[in-house]
């Protein structure tokens, strides 16, 4: 998916891969005229992978048969369809490992969750923390994202726990059983007030540095990987006591956010000299044969391969 369009419709293309090469390089196996605007994310539905879902700048979630591209959806978030595309556009999509739950979020800062076994039912809305503020922002702790939602991932084998990352630099653990945020933290594991979040976005021109750019489940590590704009990668532990921590319970000495990479060699420090650009990871992917390893795909089109014990890529 992406910017490819024909006749005003933005397309999803399916291509087969065999032995590490595209079989349908010149002509796609299937092309779906899917959305009215850019397609931001696509996921196959587990466990069979016979369906796929997509989110778009047009504010809808597409739902398709992978065999022939026929529609099973769409899923539309509740709200004002008269809102601008900039406000209703969806950027992030997650599907639970059992294929039952779908979550989408975007520019509005809200997250929508559907039970795909009852798709006609209204979506659960996990609301962001929006202005006007009910009190002084310096005294207000966020109960959700203050800015856009960039990434979403269900905790491995535990659909009631959803992890989101935003343009505000927040990681949020959502308790789907309660329909609310359990834990809202920055990458240091602390919860800043709303004023601090707004101010740090404009201080020293570091706006983008706090964006959580990518997340993905890592069952073998007992949690989720999360990358930010500086090229840092964190292990978000969601197993054991950390599950309760992300659901909002007090857990003594819980170490549920762990930096994985050498900040001096990979992560670009916040205190770097002016003009020194960060190189963020725009996606994280598994690497076949390395159960706890992963690949970081960077903004400058390089692929970094990490083994389970590495602090540096090879």
Residue by residue, DSSP assigns 226-262 as EEETTS-EEEEE-STHHHHHHTT---TT---EEE-S-
Higher pLDDT, 231 or 170: 170
Least confident of 133-137, 173-177, 252-256: 252-256
Q: Which residues contact 56 (CB under 8 A, 6 or more apart)?
A: 10, 34, 35, 36, 37, 38, 39, 40, 62, 89, 90
Per-residue pLDDT band at 215 (split at 50, 70, 90): very high
Q: Choose between 78 and 265: higher pLDDT.
A: 78
Task: Give the pLDDT score at 86.
Answer: 63
Comparison of pLDDT for 253 and 4, the residue scoring more: 4
Query: In the predicted model, is pLDDT for residue 155 greater than 90?
Result: yes
Q: Is the pLDDT assigned to residue 8 strictly greater than 80?
A: yes
- Looking at residue 138, what is its pLDDT? 93
Cα 223 → chain centroid: 14
Element (H, E) at 171: strand 171-175
Residue 294 has which token pair? 């992963």
Q: Whose CA is closest to 189, among 261, 241, 242, 136?
A: 242
Report residue 275's pLDDT band, with 50, 70 and 90 as the boundaries.
Answer: low
8 Å CB contact between 143 and 181: yes
pLDDT of 27-75, one tens digit each? 999 999 999 999 999 999 988 899 999 999 999 999 999 999 999 988 9
User: Does residue 31 contact residue 12 with C-beta atoms inside 8 Å?
Assistant: yes
CA torsion sign for 123, 129, 132, 134 is: positive
Tokens describing residue 31:
């092309």
pLDDT in tens, 85-110: 667 899 999 999 999 999 999 999 99
State mean pLDDT over 138-167.
92
For the four alpha carbons of 255, 164, 243 and 52, in that order, the dihedral sign comes to negative
pLDDT at 271: 62
Tokens of 1: 């998916």
Q: Copy the structure tokens of residue 268.
A: 């670009």
pLDDT for 257 beyond 70: yes
pTM of the entire structure? Answer: 0.92
pLDDT the model gives residue 84:
62
Is residue 112 a contact partner of residue 77, using CB atoms and an 8 Å limit?
yes
Supply φ then ψ for residue 205, to 5 degrees.
Answer: 65, 25
Per the model's pLDDT, the better-predicted residue between 201 and 189 turns out to be 189
């Amino acid at each position: 998916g992406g910017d490819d369009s024909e006749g005003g419709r933005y397309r999803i293309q399916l291509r087969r891969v065999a032995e590490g090469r595209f079989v349908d390089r010149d002509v796609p196996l299937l092309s779906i005229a899917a959305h009215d605007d850019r397609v931001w994310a696509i996921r196959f539905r587990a466990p069979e992978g016979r369906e796929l879902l997509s989110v778009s700048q047009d504010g809808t979630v597409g739902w398709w048969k992978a065999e022939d591209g026929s529609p099973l959806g769409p899923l539309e978030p509740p709200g004002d369809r008269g809102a601008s595309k900039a406000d209703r556009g969806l950027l992030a999509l997650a599907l639970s490992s059992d294929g039952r739950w779908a979550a989408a979020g975007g520019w509005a800062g809200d997250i929508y969750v559907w039970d795909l076994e009852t798709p006609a039912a209204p979506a659960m809305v996990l609301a962001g923390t929006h202005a006007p503020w009910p009190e002084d922002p310096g005294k207000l702790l966020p109960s959700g994202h203050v800015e856009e939602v960039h990434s979403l991932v269900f905790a491995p084998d535990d659909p009631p726990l959803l992890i989101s990352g935003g343009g505000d630099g927040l990681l949020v653990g959502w308790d789907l059983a309660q329909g609310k945020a359990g834990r809202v933290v920055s990458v240091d594991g602390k919860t800043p007030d709303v004023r601090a979040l707004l101010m740090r976005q404009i201080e020293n021109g570091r706006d983008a540095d706090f964006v959580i750019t990518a997340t993905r489940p890592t069952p073998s590590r007992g949690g989720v990987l999360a990358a930010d704009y500086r090229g840092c990668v964190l292990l978000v532990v969601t197993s054991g006591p950390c599950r309760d921590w992300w659901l909002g319970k007090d857990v003594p000495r819980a170490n549920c956010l762990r930096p994985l990479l050498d900040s001096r060699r990979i992560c670009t420090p916040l205190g770097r000299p002016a003009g020194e650009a960060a190189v963020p990871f725009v996606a994280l992917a598994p690497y076949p044969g390395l159960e706890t390893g992963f690949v970081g795909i960077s903004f400058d089109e390089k692929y970094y391969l990490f083994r389970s014990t590495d602090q540096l890529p090879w």
